[in-house]
Amino acid sequence: MMTVHAGLVAGALRTEGFWTEQSPKLGFAAIAIVVFLAVMGLVMFLADNAPRKGRDVVQLLLFVLPAMLLLAAGMIWPALSTMWQSVTSKAGEFVGLDNFVTIFTDPTGQVVLRNTLLWVVFVPLISTVVGLAYALFIDRAKGERILKSLVFMPMAISFVGASIIWGFMYTYRSEGFPQIGLLNQILVWLGMSPYQFVETPPWNTFFLLVVMAWIQTGFAMVVLSAAIKGVPAEIVEAAELDGASAWERFLHVTLPWIRGSLVVVVTTITISTLKVFDIVRTMTGGQYNTSVVANEMYTRAFRLGQPEIGAALAVVLFILVLPIVIYNIRVLRQHKETH
C-alpha cells in the first residue's frame, strides 16, 4: 500500500512539473536544511544541559547570532563592497582616489555637490523654523487638533505623491495659453508672465527643496510641540513674574529646554535631505542642473554604466551623514546628563 501511495505521489509531482532536472539541487537544499536543524537542535540540547553561566552565554549568542548575520549580510558586507568599488576602476583595478577626484573636478559633479549643500542648509532651516512657529502658535489656538492634523498631513504623503502634487503647482504653459498650474495662474492674474519654475536654474533647486520642506514641517511641529508642552509651568511663571517678555521667555526658558528636541529635528531632517532622491527623480530626473548626490549616484551606476563613480558618490554621502549622526549622539548624551 505504501509503495502504491509513493508511486501516486511521484506521478503527481511529475505531472505537475515538480519532478524536473533541478531535483538534485532541491535535494541538496533539503539535506542542508535538515543538517542545519540537526546542528541547532544539538546546540540547544547542549546549552540546556550546560552549567548555568555557560548556558546563559550560549543562549545569548544564539539569540543575537541571527540578527548579527542579517546585519553582516545586509549592511556590513555591502558597505565594505561599496567602499572597495569606490577605489577601483570599472574593470576592478585599484585606482586609489581617482573616482573621488572625478566627482570633485567634473563640472556636473560640482553642480551636484552645490545642490546637495543648498538642500542641506535650507530644508532643515525652513522646516524647523516654520515647524517651531506652528508649534508655538497652534498650541494656543482653539482648534489645535484639527490645525495640527492639517500641518502634519503632508507627512502621510509619499515623496513621489508630493512631487506630483507640486508638479501640478509648478506646471508651465507658454504665455497666451490657459495656465493649469496654480502658481503660474496667480502670476497671470497679477499681470505677470508665466514662469518656468522647474526648468530655470539655479532657482529651480529652491522650488524643488520647498517640496521637502513642506513635508518635513509637520514632523518638526509635532516633535517641538511635544517638547514645548514639557516645559515646566513653574519656570515660565517665575520668568513672567520677574518681568520677562514673551520673547525673552521663549529665548531664555523655552528654547534652552527644548534644545535636545531641536537637535533631533534638525539632524533627522538633515539626514533625510542628504538622502533625497524621489523628489528630484520625479520632478526633473536630475535635468536642468537639479541633480543631488543620491540621484546622481543612481544615474551614474544604473543609467550611465559607471558603477565605480556611483560607489564613490555613495561613500561621499556616507561621509556627509556620519558627522551629523555623531553630533546628534553627543548632544543627546549631554542633554540627558543635564536633565
Rounded to the nearest 10 degrees, how much is the dihedral formed by the CA atoms of 171, 174, 178, 184?
40
- Looking at the fold, whether 79 and 163 belong to one and the same domain comes out as no
Residue 279, in any domain of the structure:
yes
Q: Quick one: which of 115, 145, 129, 156 has its CA closest to 277? A: 115
Percentage of residues of the chain with pLDDT beyond 90: 30
Instruction: Tell me the range of 26-35, 133-142, 239-248, 281-290 where mean pLDDT is highest.
Output: 281-290
- Looking at the fold, whether 73 and 212 belong to one and the same domain comes out as no
Last-in-domain residue among 86, 111, 126: 86
- Looking at the fold, whether 144 and 30 belong to one and the same domain comes out as no
- Looking at the fold, whether 296 and 230 belong to one and the same domain comes out as yes
| Domain interval for residue 32 | 24-86
Return the amino acid letter for 124.
P
Residue-wise pLDDT tens digits, 252-285: 888 888 888 898 899 899 989 988 999 999 999 9
- Looking at the fold, whether 269 and 317 belong to one and the same domain comes out as yes
Burial 170-192 (b: 16+ CB within 10 A, else e): bbbeeeeeebebebbbebbeeee
Does pLDDT of 14 surpass 50?
no
Burial 202-241 (b: 16+ CB within 10 A, else e): eebbebbbbbbbbbbbbbbbbbbbebbeebeeeebeebee
User: Residue 24 corresponds to which cell in the numbers above?
Assistant: 538534485
Longest dimension (CA), the chain: 97
Question: Average pLDDT in the 111-117 region?
Answer: 93
The Cα 49–Cα 51 span in angstroms is 7
Residue 240, in any domain of the structure:
yes
Q: For position 232, which CATH number holds?
A: 1.10.3720.10
Residue 190, in any domain of the structure:
no
pLDDT of residue 284: 92
How far is CA 115 from its chain centroid? 18
Residue 269, in any domain of the structure:
yes
CB 42 within 8 A of CB 58: no
Residue 185, in any domain of the structure:
no
- Looking at the fold, whether 143 and 58 belong to one and the same domain comes out as no
Does pLDDT of 45 surpass 80?
no
CB 321 within 8 A of CB 271: yes
Last-in-domain residue among 36, 64, 86: 86
- Looking at the fold, whether 113 and 244 belong to one and the same domain comes out as yes
Question: Average pLDDT in the 306-323 region?
Answer: 88
- Looking at the fold, whether 205 and 78 belong to one and the same domain comes out as no
Does pLDDT of 199 surpass 50?
yes
Does pLDDT of 131 surpass 60?
yes
Residue 108, in any domain of the structure:
yes
Residue 49, in any domain of the structure:
yes
Q: How many domains does the chain have?
A: 2
- Looking at the fold, whether 28 and 166 belong to one and the same domain comes out as no
- Looking at the fold, whether 31 and 102 belong to one and the same domain comes out as no
Stated pTM of the model: 0.77
Question: Average pLDDT in the 138-154 region?
Answer: 82
Last-in-domain residue among 60, 86, 112: 86
Residue 127, in any domain of the structure:
yes
The Cα 228–Cα 274 span in angstroms is 28
User: Residue 160 corresponds to which cell in the numbers above?
Assistant: 513621489
Return the amino acid letter for 76.
I
Beta carbons within 8 Å of 263's beta carbon, 6+ residues apart? 327, 328, 331, 332, 335
- Looking at the fold, whether 263 and 137 belong to one and the same domain comes out as yes
- Looking at the fold, whether 145 and 229 belong to one and the same domain comes out as yes
